[in-house]
Amino acid sequence: MHPDADDNAAGAPGAMQPSALVSALAARRSGTGQPATILSIRLDRFASACETLGPRRAARLQAIVQARIACLLPPAAIMHWMAPADLVVITALPDGEPDPGPVASRLADDLSRPFALEGFELFISCSIGVATDHPDIPAERSLQQALDAMLRVDRRGGDGLARADKPAAPPTAPLLAALPDALERGELSLQLQPRADFASAVVSGYTVRLRWHHPALGRVAPQDFLPAVESLGLVGRIGSWLLESVLPLVRAAENVAPLQFTLLASSAQLHRPQMVEALAQAIDAGGIAPDRLCIEVSASAVPADADIIARFAALRRRGLQLTLGDFDDSPGCRQLLAALHPDRVTLDARRLGHAPRPGDSANRADSLRAACRLARGAGVSVCAKGIETRQQLEAVRAWGCHSVQGYLLAQPFPATWLLQTHAAIQQRARELLASHA
């Protein structure tokens, strides 16, 4: 769980550690076939109220809050205090309520009514994060989604509701103003997401992902700030920092396993000759095997400039690997496959088996299966990314994908944890894939 969830946890009557809450969700999953709604609730200004009330009345107020919530939910709802002001609720939706949004809104409205307690009248709003659990997604992931949604509200001042399935982008002006100095302030960091091979049930590599955590904006999603990196002309500076940070990581990993690290390259980075030259220098001076580094380029971002392609081809001849991301069976991807001869392609399987969204292809699974067959026919390795359920895992295995990546295996984690975390993720890969090895 997010470290914010444990603040002052020891002081909450009946508070649970995150591991116990995960166990509670797992137990609920095994006892019912209904999907659970998870509500992460933070009582705004509760700490200030407690200074006046004292510990005895504060505990009584917690009990009243819990009773109000219980009146609005089915009897089997599970409620646990994670901290004095933080309550997590795991519940089925009331009969006739297909969507958790109205339920959470009614709950927020009810908690906004004044509380009468031993002569005190208190007004306490709340920050609520809502997530829908899925039995094939790790329980930690479902809980984290609700908590992250709640923290988005809390960082905006509280008194609001956020849903994990409808993340809100941060305001543009503050984001653009804060981004240029984010590197110097130490707000940028690297996270790693593992890739595991079906044939060996072994973690063979990690994708390096850039993350930004701003003290006021909170966690800024990559899709919200990466376009700004390009528009503000920060590609070179941040790209150089990323490369300098990755090389020691690659060297340290030699003591763990023969791992490959994949860097995600934007179109703007590929259009900068300096970035390509920096990669060449890193291979020469870094003392690492070139095949330990891989560049992943989205099929929609491959430059048409012949000089850039030629420079990149020279790096590949020296051993640098290339992954063509977001591959499908479209004519454009077929042409790129023939022209670039990548070492690997990735298929975006996140929506596989889910209800279609507006704009989704009606034959999404057929298209991905055809793309896998196309790549395999060209002798190219295929990685299915975004795997969150066992049904998705079984589908891409049946297609003949060589490797998988996604939250079912592990969510991204701080790069500095690699040496301590790799063994646990490797064990997870064995448990998940060994029966197919």
Digitized pLDDT (tens) for each residue of the chain, 437 residues in all: 232 333 232 233 344 455 677 777 877 776 666 778 999 999 987 876 777 788 898 899 999 999 999 999 988 888 999 888 899 999 988 887 888 888 898 998 898 888 888 877 777 888 999 998 887 777 888 888 899 899 888 877 788 888 988 776 677 888 889 999 999 999 999 999 999 999 999 999 999 999 998 887 777 878 788 888 878 888 888 888 888 898 889 888 988 888 999 998 875 565 566 666 777 777 777 677 888 889 898 888 887 777 777 777 877 888 889 999 999 999 999 999 998 899 999 999 987 865 454 445 557 789 999 999 999 999 999 999 999 888 899 999 999 999 999 988 888 889 999 998 899 899 989 988 976 44
Q: What are the structural domains of the chain?
A: 3-163 (3.30.70.270), 172-436 (3.20.20.450)
DSSP string for 86-98? EEEEEEPPPTT--
3-state secondary structure of 192: strand
pLDDT of residue 2: 30
- Amino acid identity of residue 357, one-letter, is R
Name beta bridge partners: 205. Answer: 195, 260
Contacts of 80 (CB under 8 A, 6+ apart): 14, 15, 16, 20, 21, 24, 87, 88
- Considering only CA atoms, which of 379, 435, 402 is closest in space to residue 196? 402
Tokens of 437: 């090895």
Residue entry with tokens 């941040």: 238
Q: Which long-range contacts (CB under 8 A, 24 or more apart) does 238-243 make?
A: 238/183, 238/188, 238/210, 239/269, 239/272, 239/275, 239/278, 240/275, 240/278, 241/183, 241/188, 242/190, 242/208, 242/210, 243/278, 243/279, 243/282
In the block, residue with structure tokens 């490959």: 260
Instruction: Tell me whether residue 338 is exposed, middle or buried, using C-beta atoms within 10 angstroms of its C-beta: 0 to 12, 13 to 18, 19 or more.
Output: exposed
DSSP β-bridge partners for residue 126 = 43
Q: What is the CA radius of gyration of the chain?
A: 24
73 dihedral zone (left: phi>0; alpha: psi -120 to 50; beta): beta
Could you give the CA distance from residue 238 to residue 183 in angstroms, rounded to a whole number?
8
pTM of the predicted protein model: 0.69
* Cα–Cα distances in angstroms (integers) from residue 21 to residues 139, 142, 227, 248, 420, in the given order: 9, 11, 37, 37, 24
Element (H, E) at 64: helix 46-71
